[in-house]
Structure 1
Amino acid sequence: MKRISDHFASVLAYVAGLSLVLMMVHVTLDVVLKYFFKQPIPGTAEVVAAYYMIGTVFLPLAYIEVHNRPIVVELLYDRLPQGLQRPLDVLATILSIAFYAFLAWQSIKIALTALENREYIDGVWKVVVWPSRFLIPLGLLAACAALALRLMTLLTGGKAEHGHAETV
C-alpha cells in the first residue's frame, strides 16, 4: 500500500511540476507577444489562475505528506521525551487528516456546483474552469490518504519517517 501511495503522490507531484513549467512558458510567451508584437494570448490570466496555480499548489500535497516534509515549527517537540513525541505525532496526524478532509469536503461541494453550472470565465475567450475545480479535492484527498497511512504506521507501533522538514 505504501508503494502505491508513494507512486501516486509522485505522479501528482510531477503533474504539479509540469503545471509550473507550463505556467512559466505560457506567461513568458504572453509577455513576449504582448510587448513585442502587440498580440497577447487571450485568457492567460484566467488559465493561470484557474488551472496552473491550482495544480501547482494542491497536487503536491500528498507528496509532501508521504515524505513527511511539511514546514513545521518545533519549539518544544525535540526536547520532549520519546514517550510524549509519539502521541503528539498521532494527534498532529489526526488533526491534519481532519483539516484536509474538511477542506476536501467543502471543495467537492464547490466542484460539483461548478460542474452542474458548467462554470466558465467570460473574457475575450470563454475559459471553461469547472474541470479545474476537481484538482483541489484530488490533491486534498490524496494528502488524506497519505496521512491515513502514516497514522496506521504510528498506531501499529511503527515510527513515522521524518523527512528533512524545513524547521522554523
Structure 2
Amino acid sequence: MNAPADPRNDPNETLLDRAILGLNRGFVLLAAIALLLMMLHVTAEVVARATGWVTLIGTLEIVSYYYMILLVMLPMGFVELKHEHIRVDLFVQMMPARMQFVLYLLSCVMCIVFFAMMFRQSLLDAWNSMQRKETIMSNFIFYIWPSRWALPIGFFGLLLASACNLLKSFRHRKAL
C-alpha cells in the first residue's frame, strides 16, 4: 500500500504557494547577506583593534540596529513554511486526525490575525520613524529608521506563510 503524500512536499503546489516560497527565500537571501556583512564588519573591527588602528566607528550600532534585526525578522516566514518553529503538541499528537486538522486550521487563523495586526502596527511605526528620521544617541548622527522596515517585511512574510499553510492544509484536509 502506498503511503499518503506529505502535504509539506506537495508536487501539486499552486502558483501562489511557489510565489510565497520564492518571496520568503528572497528574504532568507537578504538575511544571509546581512550575516556575511556582519561577519566581515566584526572581523574588520577585531583586526583593526588588534593591529592598533583606530576602532571602526559605529560597529556596535550597525550590528545592533541593522544586521541583527535583519537576521531575526526576515527568515521567519521561511521558517514557518518549513514548519521549523518550535511546537508544543504533545497532547495534540494523541488526538484523532480530524481534531488535529481542526486545531491546526484554528492555529493558522489565529496566526494570520496576529501577524496581520503585527504587520499593520510595525508598518505604522516604521512610517512614523521614517517621517521623524529617527536616530539614536551616539557620538555621531546614527539613523535607525531604515531598520524599522525589517519588522513589517518580516511580519508580511510570516502572514503570507501562515496563509499558505492554512490553504495547503485545507487543500489536503489534514494538519501539516
TM-score normalised according to structure 1 size: 0.87
- The correspondence of residues 1-168 of structure 1 with structure 2, limited to 5 A, is 1-159=16-174, 161=176
Alpha-carbon distance between aligned partners in 2 of 1:137 and 1:5, rounded to the nearest angstrom: 16
Alignment length (residue pairs): 161
Alpha-carbon distance between aligned partners in 2 of 1:39 and 1:90, rounded to the nearest angstrom: 56
Deviation per CA, 1:70-90: give whole Å up to 9, x if none.
111122121111011001101
**Partner amino acid for 2:125?**
I
Deviation per CA, 1:25-65: give whole Å up to 9, x if none.
21121122123224111011111111101100000011012
> Aligned with 1:37: secondary structure?
coil
The share of aligned pairs that are identical, in percent, is 30
Q: Which runs of 4+ in 1 moved over 3 A?
A: 155-161
The unaligned stretches of length 5 or more in structure 2 are 1-15
Alpha-carbon distance between aligned partners in 2 of 1:99 and 1:36, rounded to the nearest angstrom: 49
**Partner amino acid for 1:45?**
L
TM-score normalised according to structure 2 size: 0.84
Q: Is the 8 A contact 1:150 1:160 kept in 2?
A: no
> Aligned with 1:73: secondary structure?
coil
